[in-house]
A and B are shown apart, each in its own frame.
Chain A
Amino acid sequence: MTASARLPAGGRIDREQPLSFVLDHRLLTGYAGDTLASALLAQGIRLVGRSFKYHRPRGLLAAGVEEPNGLLTLGEGGRRTPNVPATVVELHEGLFCQRQNGWPSVDFDLMAATSWLAPLLGAGFYYKTFMGPRRGSWMFYEPFIRRAAGLGRADHLPDPDRYETRHAFTDVLVIGAGPAGLAAARAASRAGCRVTLVEQDFLLGGSLLSAAIGSADDILRATLEADVAAMPNVEVLRRTTALGVYDGDTVALVERHDHARPDPSKGEAREVVITLRARAIVHATGAIERSLVFGDNDRPGVMLAGAVRTYLNRYAVAVGRQAVIATNNDSAWSTALDLAGAGVGVTLLDERIEAGNGLADAARRAGVDVRHEVRLCRALGRRAVQGVEFARRGGAIERRACDVVGISGGWSPTLHLTSHTGSKPTFDVGLDGFVPGPFAPGHYGAGAIMGTRSLARSLAEGHAVGDAAARHVGAAASAGSAPAPTEEAPTGHAASPPDRAPGRGKAFVDFQNDVTTRDIELAHEEGYHSVEHLKRFTTLGMGTDQGKTSNVDAARHMAALRGIDMAAAGTTTYRPPYTPVSVGALAGRSKGTHFRATRRTPMHDWHLMNGAVMIEAGPWLRPWYYRWAGRAVGSAYVEEMRLVRTGVGISDVSSLGKIDVRGPDAALFLDRVYVNAFAKLPVGKARYGVMLNDDATVLDDGTTARFDDNTFFMTTTTAQAAEVMSWLEFLLQTAWPELRVQVVSVTDRWAGMSVAGPKAREAIALALPGVDLSSEALPYMGVREFDLDGTPVRILRLSFSGELAYEIYVPADKGTSMWTHLLEQAAPLGMRPYGLEALASLRIEKGHVAGLELDHRNTLDDLGLGAMASKSKAFIGRELAGREALKKPGRWSLVGLELLEPTAKLRGGAILFSRHDALEGHGRGYITSVTWSTEHHKLIALALYEDGRMHEGEEILCAYPLKNEIVRARIVSPMFVDPSGERVRA
């Protein structure tokens, strides 16, 4: 701990607003306007963490999102968030944070003292452990590695905060509010467009924020901000990061509200993910400074030169009293000049022979010790930098004592987002960096992202592309003239590629993942030559910072080893998100029961109030079983089955798909889509039908009733309702537009209930005394529509269970009243509700196929439904049903099974073998559905089996490897009850 590094005046901080925060249980203070990083540096706290693999002491490298070292854990309990760069955290009252990856503490780390893991964790360790022949060794090492290596830890508590999702539209989206972005937003808004300006920082200005208060750049920043604020058609989103750019010029943004300490109990969101659809996009994302690679370049106090300047001017923090600035380009000279102006002793080491116009003279006038053609070899010190070694090429090593080293290896345009759009980066030799390739229409770039280093040119570019984006979206007004800087800062003299010195000590390329030049050489020696292989072998660029400061250096090192140029070396692929985003923000409110929409039937509330245990069936919530029948499903469904087989029960079938098919050609249409004939279906009758896909596999089954010549009421399975509806619409709209037919989904319009059992007729007669239910008036498969006190009622006499049964449909809002009326009136007969488990079991006993059997691979013949296919008319799938492979012997077809071992179990998914088979591979079929049979007092099943019914009577084996079970069963007819169908016709 050293004395405060805060300067007595200056900076964009509010000294009237001190803020308290906690670091590792110590109470500290900063000011409004600070980041957590600047507040720590102001307190003299340099050591912010331990490195990933080697536990080396680490300090802050940067002042922005590119920070690789200063990762802290924020918050406690369910709000605990690991690995947050201190450089992006806006300081607020009560902030709670911890340094991570040190044991017992970051300041005194035993892991570093022993460093016993270091030899294990060289390049390729993870790659070889996972991919190589020693894969099993991961199992052995994993617990040790997890404890010693790695970053912060998350916890498993639920997150108490609220996250929101927002959808938005704009004409021109400007990403980045530096000088180019502000100029673009200003121009596009003056041209009359709706503009959205997005900035990840909490202040606007980008690079201008690092200029001294009162300087020309600072005045320019204020003017630009005021110009943009004056336009009512600009929405400015601060603290908002563009995570990715997607098709259709849709951009994912995340807006963070942590600074305002949102209260979830008041509905305030911590983060909001905005899906923004833009008509044009201006990329003004700037550039990120690169580090220099030399021995022990990770010592705390070695920082990017631009960051040193930002801390000095924006936060009034002089990071040291004696500075060495080392650079290969002009930008770091501004840092040297500003530091000297603040009374810091400065030595400037430039790798080049000369710098930009007048810089050297200005620096010498300011008292800077300027040295040319020298390079850093090594940083000295351990927990904080204490000096440097440097040398001329081939010259003797010199030493200089210092407490801060500002380094600049040039600037990498921030082209992550443009890369998302498919614009492939190209290498610019003059810039010594990658710039975006050609843009798609409607995309524009301005400023440092384009490799522009001059402020005046950035402003001009910003203005021009803002205007062009406005024209692209059809704006007519003039954008006016471009803003001009009052004074031109030193322009970018071409950078020279940094000269790498073979100094002693580890020379880090990727600080966060502890990747050194030696690791890259090792990768090269082992044959991992491309940047993509290098990345995977060394884990370079795979940290939470995604190598923002290191990727180009790594590629350069690899290119040098291979003797190729940078353009040939290329970059790895940039993928969203640009910076890490919390899963909570992405999920928004789509969690728990809100993960997807829940569909409820009209009688839902009645079920809940009357002892139903509900179950999810696709999007539907349906009664699974009722407590009157038992405490657990296993006993309850059998009791409910018994009720239907011996008395009468009622079940909610509202979730069945219901489609109204209407029009003069409706009968003709149904004739085409069903395999069986519908054209001659009489009014007042229903028919069971099966539909095929074009490839002759079974699509769905259901019953369709005819209420008059031109009106049909189709039901589908619950599972296939949406598919069937779209398919019918597809046929009518694309293939047969000449047919005069309309189809409308009426699933939500009708409540449906099935009354089933030998006493079903008596039950309905009690409830609807005026309706003639005799077999003459309403035979099996007969339908009737009538009016009951103004309510339309439809009765269809059809059966899913194999018992005498009626389906009754009333408008949805009358569902509960009809349901309770039926139950009350039929109470003397003992009618009670039954749930989905019993419903499904009854159909298994009856041998009706359902979703579990209809796997979109089986044909009519496979399901024993071949006789349904009409011989006298065409239907969808008819021609391809004759394909050779569908007619071959050996296909899996529907059978029934009965269990031969009374104490064992049949299980859905069990693999079936003949008694002579070796029990391996895919077997001869599998069990699709299992139930207890109340008729046969044993477990029965439906199954698909090779050449199915040909093996009736044969004993087979059912293997269930997950439970190590093999049980004997016999193949029987799938119709376990009433095969002749006497009951349904009773």
Chain B
Amino acid sequence: MLRIPCPHCGERDYTEFRYAGDATKTRPAHGTTDARAWHDHVFLFVNPKGPHREHWQHVQGCRQWLVLERDTGTNAVGRSWLARAGEPS
């Protein structure tokens, strides 16, 4: 049972969350007409083994989308922050 720290709700079971993958990519600005930019964003993933940042939503809690640091090799969980707020300095 992965345990995920939520900035609002504290450490919770991962079963309370929805997973949405890679959070290191930046979505093309709305209205971007370059199909290649959308193609790369939607279909191309790095999928590293090791430290990674992912989007998780606390659906059974505060419903906030988080960015979570997770090591995909060891499943060790690191920091998290609200996607809306950006990485804390």
Contacts and interface: CB of A to CB of B under 8 A. Distances in A.
A275 interface: yes
A243 to B, nearest CB: 13
Contact of A726 (B13, B18, B23): B18
B9 interface: no
Interface string B46-79: 0000000001010100011100000000110100
A882 B39 CA distance: 11
B75 to A, nearest CB: 5
Interface in A707-755: 722, 726, 729-730, 733-737
Interface string B17-48: 01010010001001111110011011100000
A694 interface: yes
Contacts of A722: 59
A613 interface: no
B84 A733 contact: yes
A729 B59 CA distance: 10
A730 B57 contact: yes
Nearest to A882: B35
B30 A874 contact: yes
**Which of A729, A730, A734, A736 is most buried by chain B, counting CB atoms within 10 A of its CB?**
A734
Contact of B30 (A247, A440, A672, A734): A672
A248 B35 contact: no
B3 A250 contact: yes
Contacts of B39: 880, 883
A879 B2 contact: no
A730 B42 contact: no
Contacts of A248: 1-3, 13-14, 75, 77
Nearest to A732: B84
A127 interface: no
Pick from A275, A722, A729 the residue with the most CB of B within 10 Å: A729
A246 interface: yes
Contacts of B18: 726
B33 A730 contact: no
A277 interface: yes
Contacts of B75: 247-248
Given A726-B57, A730-B57, A880-B42, A440 B35 contact: no
A734 B84 contact: yes
Contact of A735 (B27, B31, B63): B27
Interface size class of A (residues with CB under 8 A): 20 to 34
A879 B35 contact: yes
Given A726-B57, A730-B57, A730-B65, A883 B1 contact: no
A246 B13 CA distance: 12
Contact of B84 (A246, A440, A737): A737
A734 B34 CA distance: 21
A729 B38 contact: no
Contacts of B38: 694, 879-880
A733 B35 contact: no
Contacts of A235: none
Contacts of A694: 38, 41-42
Contacts of B57: 726, 729-730
A422 interface: yes
A695 interface: yes
Contacts of A735: 27, 30
B83 A734 contact: yes
A735 B14 CA distance: 23
Contacts, number: 68
Contact of A247 (B1, B27, B42, B64): B1
A729 B63 contact: yes
B6 to A, nearest CB: 13
A279 to B, nearest CB: 10
Contacts of B2: 247-248
Contacts of B77: 248
B89 to A, nearest CB: 17
A665 to B, nearest CB: 12
A401 B16 CA distance: 65
B55 A422 contact: no
A422, A722, A733, A874: most-surrounded residue (chain B CB, <10 A):
A733
A736 B30 contact: yes
A879 B32 contact: yes
Contacts of B59: 722, 726
B63 A695 contact: no
A730 B83 CA distance: 9
A734 B1 contact: no
Nearest to B1: A250
A722 B14 CA distance: 18
Contacts of A733: 64-65, 82-84
A275 B34 CA distance: 49
A277 B31 contact: no
B79 to A, nearest CB: 15
A246 B14 CA distance: 12
A254 to B, nearest CB: 16
B3 A277 contact: yes
Contacts of B42: 694-695, 880
B52 to A, nearest CB: 15
Nearest to A249: B3
Contacts of B14: 248
B7 to A, nearest CB: 12
A250 B14 CA distance: 11
A733 B64 CA distance: 8
A670 to B, nearest CB: 13
Interface in A167-212: none
A467 to B, nearest CB: 24
Contacts of A734: 23, 27, 55, 65, 83-84
Contact of B34 (A247, A422, A879): A879
A358 to B, nearest CB: 48
B20 A883 contact: no
Nearest to A880: B38
Contacts of A249: 3
Contacts of A695: 42-43
Nearest to A722: B59
A299 to B, nearest CB: 46
Contacts of B13: 248
A252 to B, nearest CB: 9
Interface in A1-48: none
Contacts of B1: 246-248, 250, 275, 277
Q: Which of A246, A247, A422 has the most CB of B within 10 A?
A: A247
Contacts of B3: 247-250, 277
A737 B82 CA distance: 11
Contacts of A882: 35
A599 to B, nearest CB: 15
A722 B2 CA distance: 23
B80 to A, nearest CB: 13
Nearest to A422: B74
A535 B33 CA distance: 58
Contacts of B41: 694
Contact of A883 (B35, B63, B74): B35
B56 to A, nearest CB: 11
26 contacts: A246-B1, A247-B1, A247-B3, A247-B75, A248-B1, A248-B75, A248-B77, A250-B1, A250-B3, A275-B1, A672-B30, A694-B38, A695-B42, A722-B59, A729-B57, A729-B65, A730-B20, A733-B65, A734-B23, A734-B27, A735-B27, A735-B30, A874-B30, A874-B31, A879-B38, A880-B42
Given A247-B2, A275-B1, A874-B31, 15 more contacts: A247-B1, A248-B14, A250-B3, A422-B74, A440-B74, A695-B42, A730-B20, A733-B82, A733-B84, A734-B23, A735-B30, A737-B84, A879-B32, A879-B33, A880-B42
The 3 closest A-B pairs by CB, nearest first: A250-B1, A248-B3, A874-B31
